[in-house]
Structure 1
Amino acid sequence: MGSCIICGTDVDGGGRICRPHQEDVVFDFRGDSPDQLVANRFYRGVVDGYAEFGVFIDLAPGITGLLHRSELDRRLDSLDWEPGDDVFVQVKGVRDNGNIDLAWSIRQADREFRGALVQEAETEHLPESEADDDTDEEDASAESAGADDDADGTDADGADGTGADDTESPERESTADPSHRGKSAEETADPADHGDADTTEPATDDASVDGAAEADSVDTDSADDEPPERVPIETLEAAVGNAVRLEGEVVSVRQTGGPTVFELRDETGVVDAAAFVEPGVRAYPDVEVGDTIRLDGEVERRRGDIQVETEALVILEGDEAEGVRRRLAEALTAEARPEGLQPLAGDEAVAELGEGLLDAAEAIRRAVLESRPVVVRHPATADGYVAGAAIERATLPLIREEHAKSDAEYHYFTRRPLEDPVYGMNDATNDATRMLQDRDRHDEKLPLFVLVGTGSTVESADGLELLSVYGVDAVVIDAAVADPETRETVDTLVSPELAAVDADLSTGALAASLASAVNDEVRADLVHLPAVSYWSDTPERYAELAHNAGYDLERVAELREAIALEAYYQSYQDKRELITDLLFEDGGDLAAHVSEQFREKLETEIETASANVVTEAVDGVEFALLDTDGYTHRFDFPPTPLLLDDLHRRHANGDPFATVGIGTDELYVRATTDLSVRDVADRAAEIAPAADISTAGLREGKIEFLSGERDAVEDAVVAAVAEQF
């Protein structure tokens, strides 16, 4: 039985800290499994790297946890931690899959804790005792070495003072100092060791002869020491404990507090290869992202993931490099292009866009195979979330299959909702900043951007052009007709530009069929999504498809309303797990609960707004006018566009009818006719030239103006709308 280092009380099991003082001590973890960590304890760690959602912290070699940004007491981008920095974190718990959840520690120095302990797997001891043990071992080793020296008649460093390591092969030298890789023993040796070539006699002692023979053997790859045969990465699961040779392209380089981790891709998959020189020191500094390499090492399993411990690494050049690149390119082309498109519910409108959807699916699949992150941008609406979630559902399994790391899906797929259905400069600047930081700090490739329900109008041109400056690929999918200018800015555009396309196509329905082309294995998960994406007038083909999958109209409505409510709160976050629970894994209780909140909040707002609607008739058109500043809760649910949609449906008692919601410097228009918001804005600008009227969002019917001209703008917009009936 041990005693607590804080209070001296007895501790069962030989521990050194009692339960009340668990949080007063910081631990250095020396175990080899996440399951050995103790919840609520504080541990010393090393910053591995950043992701959009938090910081990865190494608690021990191969033991990495995630400090999610929600656990921080400040913004993630305000942290001044750099990879390799020592930090202190608290272990919240370890999940069944081995993932470690970490919490923020306000104490970030040893002196701020009352004590320190070393945790060796299941046991604990003081750091001082560890040091004493090491000293004893070193003394014993020295005594043993001295005894051997006496027996041989030589000192511990060898007869010539150069040490036993002088007879190591070049490959052994390369392991210790990767900057010497691929050089002969003569090239890597210190010239001072050889002296003047004209005056030094060749060594003839047995040790020198044996060492030279060993070096020659390694350099020539003799029949007695054949190099391992190249194996594909997909076979490594069955090769744990074996030495292997891999060839491929370096897709990322991460410097941890311990080894350098190279992510290597061949024609069959991706794997992490760890190379170690010294803690936190970059191994093989000449190797960069995009290099083709040959790597020899031993296959191991770390935290359930396959990893290769690097023993030798060489950058390939010439024909060898070209051969690797050709294999990768051929495999990539064959695997990336889907065999064909089978639209959900056999939708002919979607089939008309088949080639574009296949191009988009190929771009997403290719990005996964190239280890490029995929960033999906979509509006924070029910339709937008359904579209983004459909692509997410299809892509994540491909990432898991391609990458050995269990957390790869968080590195290689990000969904970022937009508050407005316009991809503006603010959003593009945010994206450019993140991707350049990831490139420069973590050697990540520039991502593929997939914009669904946004990016297809001229209002998004500036944002798209910023991405294009960096050569970033962009795919745009929109159920509304795109502006011609968009086609010149993006790489792939999917938009109903054919007259045969039905007008009742939603972006969610379009994206669900795209997702089935990206990954047909998740098709059964997607069949109800198109019905959820329509706010009203769901096409019969999609309603029937959802019903056959067990989603009746009431259930579909609950999902739609729940997604709409959650889309509003924390609108800039993806809420991946919550959305997954709602759309794919909810037995009914969660969606029903959130949907009830949606209806209560919406009814309250509709009641207030309806009581304050002003009606008037202009040129035979009836208008419902609402002061959205004065008679809505502007910073609570529902958002103004959703409120006006519902208000318009309830008050449009005939045709022609229009609803206008006007605020301080923006307004929204709804009408019972096909209204061109851009034409309305242009005509209103002619009527009220001093108001600086412009279209701010074509899809949501949004117009902006100078707040001082609000009254003039209201009259001008009403007149312009009436002209379009």
Structure 2
Amino acid sequence: MTSSTAGEAGTDPTDRVVYDLAPGCTLDDAEEGALYLATVNGVVEYGVFVDLSKHVSGLVHESNLDGEYAVGDELIVELVEIRENGDIGFEDVDLDPDSTDRTAVIPDDDVDIGGLSGRIGETVSVEGDVVQIKQTAGPTILSIRDGTGIVPAAAFEAAGVRAYPEVDLDDVVRVTGTVEAHEGAPQLEVDQLTRFDGAAEREVRASVDAELRARAEPAETEPLIEWPAFETLREDLEDIARRLRTAVLDSRPIRVRHHADGDGMCAALPVQLAVENFIAEVHADPDAPRHLFKRSPSKAPFYEMEDVTRDLNFALEDEERHGQRLPLLFMVDNGSTEEDVPAYRALDQYDVPILVADHHHPDPDAVAPFLEAHANPYLHGEDYRITTGMMCVELARMIDPSITDDLEHVPAVAGLADRSKADAMDEYLDLAAEAGYEKDDLDDIVEALDYAAHWLRYQSGPNLINDALNLDCDDEARHRELVDFLSSRARRDVEEQLADAEPHVEHEQLDNGTHLYRLDVENHARRFTYPAPGKTTGELHDRKVTETGDPVITIGYGPDFAVLRSDGVRLDIPNMVSELQTEIEGAGVSGGGHLVVGSIKFVPGMRESVLEALVEKMEAAELDEELRSTLLRDD
């Protein structure tokens, strides 16, 4: 026995230890002369048969019985004889089972949860903490975690009745039961569950925590390319990877909110693939990746109240219905600005940790009180040329380095999608070429992603987007055919839009030599179709940059918004928005984005005043000769 024997036969029974064998105990865990808790499993003329565990049974002869018993009754017995043939004889002891302190006897065959798949059909014991409690119409499902994995344990009472109601989330327990195959994965059918406290709880918790800390550490990976500017972000990305892996080990759901554009998708999908792989590695439940990870696009480059209200409502429902923890929120390619603060304040009322990986110009003082980790190139003296997709490919590799070969083209797609002028773009393009993607192929993927995102609107479209990006896609031909179809449709629609809009474009040359183009996209572009106002403005801008070879600013405006694009001019759109908020009373100005690419909103009645003030600020901006020369060289 794992516990010491108690007393000797012949002494006062009330002074002796009574042992309670766990279901998995065998005869090797029992000794002659010791007292045990037994359960009657059969009544015959010459006595009663009793069980001490699933594997230890024997007879209490009528000559050794002090009372009358029925099947299911409990009694205290002394093991008086173990015969050579394995038969066991017991003697009834005059003790009340309900008022007798008992010492649990645990079989020596403790196993790690990570090894249960090889123990199907066996009775085993595991120790760990409870990370989820879900009440079904049948059993209570308790998810038990040790340092090697998480397994569902099914405990049965009456249908729909909570088993072990004294056990709460985060309690440390020992579960003994039979390992069954449930939907192709191991599940424990609970025979006995013991809740630990005191020294036993501290010992198990310390052991599990130490293993979890080690397992949460991100993989040590070499970056896909050598880029000193990127190295400043590495520590922040490692911190996010560690927190994401910890969330998986804690069985905490992860919710990713990403900007619904090419860079946002190139950032979020690699993280999704890596995290879902890690969830599948940790959890025995094959449905765990579907339940514990959710990716949602955001049309705005910040966390809108509509989105946070929806996310929070779903999270609270999952907490109540499925016993899940509240999620960890990971903001990708958005989440760095003061516009995110109202949504963060809503989450601050609950236990929802927030992480951010973004390359938009940040408001660190505004968002820092709400964030547990924040990776942004601006925080290290860099800028938007390091796209979020580039960052998150490295982040995904830290979570699951096995997906590296599948991601080699993704940073180049992200850079092209966000028009990055980083020096590293050439290396990323070379890396993609080695993986089989020429620049024309990457341009087509960018167009296809943008077109798909437009029509998906608020849906994540995981299968379609994975096929377009050729990420976790098992059909190369389908990928190429899909991209060709989507990109050709996108280019056709853009050409038709610009053909209708160009006659209505207003042009002037500012005093600083910049070409300014304006288009009323509300009245001179088709609405509710592709391309949207932002895409229309961007495509018009690119066309004018190519035509002139000079510094260009393009404004696409509607009744209450303006989309801004700039090349060759030193703009600071977030700062311009801040100034307009102060300078124009009652305009309701908000917005932001990158320094030279962004959007603003205002009340319709103040449109002319806002646009006039914007143009004045643009006219006062300095030309960026470095950007201009880069632009001309690329053209």
Instruction: Answer whether TM exceeds 0.5 for this pair.
Output: yes
- Offset at residue 617 of structure 1 (A): 3.2
Q: Does 1:669 align with 2:564?
A: yes
Q: Counterparts in 2 of 1:190-229, with a 5 A limit? A: 209=92, 219-220=102-103, 227-229=107-109
Q: Counterparts in 2 of 1:168-247, with a 5 A limit? A: 209=92, 219-220=102-103, 227-247=107-127
- Offset at residue 688 of structure 1 (A): 4.4
Which of 72, 76, 95 is 1:165 aligned to?
Answer: 72
Task: Show the counterpart of 2:535.
Answer: 642
Q: Does 1:432 align with 2:312?
A: yes
Which of 370, 374, 395 is 1:493 aligned to?
Answer: 374
**Counterpart secondary structure, 1:562:** helix
Q: Counterparts in 2 of 1:241-640, with a 5 A limit? A: 241-485=121-365, 486-497=367-378, 501=382, 504-534=385-415, 535=417, 536=419, 539-583=425-469, 584=471, 585=473, 586-587=475-476, 588-620=480-512, 621-640=514-533
Preserved CA contact (<8 Å) 2:357 2:374: yes
Preserved CA contact (<8 Å) 2:153 2:188: yes
* CA 1:269–1:417: 2 relative to 1, 3 Å: same
**Separation of aligned partners in 2, 1:671 and 1:458:** 23
**Separation of aligned partners in 2, 1:444 and 1:600:** 46
Preserved CA contact (<8 Å) 1:479 1:510: no
* CA 1:666–1:502: 2 relative to 1, 3 Å: closer
Task: Show the counterpart of 2:36.
Answer: none
The code of the aligned residue for 1:659 comes to T
1:303-329 superposed Cα distances (whole Å, 9 cap, x missing partner):
112100001111110111111111121
1:477-497 superposed Cα distances (whole Å, 9 cap, x missing partner):
112442221333211111114
Preserved CA contact (<8 Å) 2:75 2:96: no
Preserved CA contact (<8 Å) 1:340 1:358: no
* CA 1:682–1:231: 2 relative to 1, 3 Å: closer
Q: How many residues align?
A: 537
Preserved CA contact (<8 Å) 1:457 1:698: no
The code of the aligned residue for 2:555 comes to V
**Separation of aligned partners in 2, 1:213 and 1:227:** 25
- Offset at residue 581 of structure 1 (A): 2.1
* CA 1:212–1:555: 2 relative to 1, 3 Å: farther
Q: Does 1:710 align with 2:607?
A: yes
The code of the aligned residue for 1:456 comes to S
* CA 1:506–1:153: 2 relative to 1, 3 Å: closer
Preserved CA contact (<8 Å) 2:409 2:428: yes
1:414-464 superposed Cα distances (whole Å, 9 cap, x missing partner):
111111111133322222222222222222112221111111111112222
- Offset at residue 590 of structure 1 (A): 1.7
- Offset at residue 570 of structure 1 (A): 2.5
**Separation of aligned partners in 2, 1:685 and 1:488:** 23
Preserved CA contact (<8 Å) 1:367 1:373: yes
**Separation of aligned partners in 1, 2:289 and 2:492:** 36
Moved more, 287-296 or 620-629: 620-629
* CA 1:433–1:670: 2 relative to 1, 3 Å: same
* CA 1:330–1:715: 2 relative to 1, 3 Å: same
- Offset at residue 210 of structure 1 (A): 7.5
Ranges in structure 2 where 5+ consecutive residues have no aligned partner:
1-41, 49-65, 78-88, 623-635
Moved more, 464-473 or 519-528: 464-473
**Separation of aligned partners in 1, 2:581 and 2:330:** 34
* CA 1:479–1:343: 2 relative to 1, 3 Å: farther
**Counterpart secondary structure, 1:209:** strand
Which of 613, 617, 625 is 1:720 aligned to?
Answer: 617
1:136-180 superposed Cα distances (whole Å, 9 cap, x missing partner):
xxxxxxxxx9xx99x8999xxxx999732224789xxxxxxxxxx
* CA 1:209–1:498: 2 relative to 1, 3 Å: closer
**Separation of aligned partners in 1, 2:593 and 2:241:** 27
1:586-623 superposed Cα distances (whole Å, 9 cap, x missing partner):
51112222222221222221222222211123434432
Q: Counterparts in 2 of 1:80-159, with a 5 A limit? A: none
* CA 1:690–1:256: 2 relative to 1, 3 Å: closer
The code of the aligned residue for 1:528 comes to H
**Counterpart secondary structure, 2:448:** helix
Preserved CA contact (<8 Å) 2:555 2:565: yes
Preserved CA contact (<8 Å) 1:342 1:517: no
- Offset at residue 352 of structure 1 (A): 1.8
Task: Show the counterpart of 2:17.
Answer: none
Task: Show the counterpart of 1:693.
Answer: 589
- Offset at residue 333 of structure 1 (A): 1.2
The code of the aligned residue for 1:209 comes to D
**Separation of aligned partners in 1, 2:463 and 2:172:** 37
Moved more, 645-654 or 249-258: 645-654
**Separation of aligned partners in 2, 1:255 and 1:703:** 48
**Separation of aligned partners in 2, 1:715 and 1:674:** 18
* CA 1:717–1:169: 2 relative to 1, 3 Å: farther
**Separation of aligned partners in 1, 2:485 and 2:230:** 34
**Counterpart secondary structure, 2:263:** helix
- Offset at residue 678 of structure 1 (A): 2.9
Preserved CA contact (<8 Å) 2:139 2:157: yes
- Offset at residue 471 of structure 1 (A): 3.7
**Separation of aligned partners in 1, 2:171 and 2:239:** 28
The code of the aligned residue for 2:261 comes to T
**Counterpart secondary structure, 2:391:** helix
1:471-526 superposed Cα distances (whole Å, 9 cap, x missing partner):
42211111244222133321111111466646521111111111111111111111
What RMSD, in angstroms, separates the aligned Cα atoms of the two structures?
A: 3.0
**Separation of aligned partners in 2, 1:227 and 1:207:** 21
Ranges in structure 1 where 5+ consecutive residues have no aligned partner:
1-144, 171-205
Task: Show the counterpart of 2:10.
Answer: none
Task: Show the counterpart of 2:577.
Answer: 681
* CA 1:214–1:242: 2 relative to 1, 3 Å: farther
**Separation of aligned partners in 2, 1:609 and 1:547:** 36
Moved more, 402-411 or 705-714: 705-714
* CA 1:390–1:326: 2 relative to 1, 3 Å: same
**Counterpart secondary structure, 1:163:** coil
**Separation of aligned partners in 2, 1:325 and 1:512:** 34
- Offset at residue 710 of structure 1 (A): 2.4
1:54-101 superposed Cα distances (whole Å, 9 cap, x missing partner):
xxxxxxxxxxxxxxxxxxxxxxxxxxxxxxxxxxxxxxxxxxxxxxxx
The code of the aligned residue for 1:628 comes to V
**Counterpart secondary structure, 2:92:** helix
The code of the aligned residue for 1:488 comes to P
Moved more, 428-437 or 542-551: 428-437
1:364-384 superposed Cα distances (whole Å, 9 cap, x missing partner):
111111111111111000100
